[in-house]
């Protein structure tokens, strides 16, 4: 049951970040913000360069 719960939490986190990305623009260049998979962890990244945003 523990694994299942952790999976749901990851899905919730991913969905939340994807929604956040859709409603956010890059504070540096004003470009699109995307979600990226960083070694299994979903993060936000600028569409132009990952150097612009490192979050979370
Ligand atoms: Zn940018």
Predicted TM-score (pTM) above 0.75: no
User: Mean pLDDT, consecutive 10-residue segments, the chain of 56 residues?
Assistant: 74 91 95 91 91 83
Give a yes or no: residue 36 inside a domain.
yes
Ligand 1 centre from 45 Cα, in Å? 8
| Helix ranges, 1-56 (H) | 2-22
Token pair, residue 5, equals 């719960």
Helix (H, G, I), strand (E, B) or coil at 45: strand
Give a yes or no: residue 6 inside a domain.
yes
Ligand 1 centre from 11 Cα, in Å? 26
Give a yes or no: residue 51 inside a domain.
no
Domain count, the chain: 1
Specify which residues 46 forms β-bridges with: 33
Give a yes or no: residue 41 inside a domain.
yes
Range of the domain at 16: 2-46
Per-residue confidence (pLDDT) for residue 24, from 0 to 100: 95
Give a yes or no: residue 23 inside a domain.
yes
């Amino acid at each position: 049951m523990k694994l299942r719960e952790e999976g749901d939490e990851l899905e919730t986190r991913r969905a939340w970040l994807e929604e956040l990305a859709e409603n956010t623009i890059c504070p540096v260049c004003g470009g699109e913000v995307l979600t990226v998979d960083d070694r299994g962890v979903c993060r936000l990244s600028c569409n132009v360069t990952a150097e612009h945003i490192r979050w979370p």
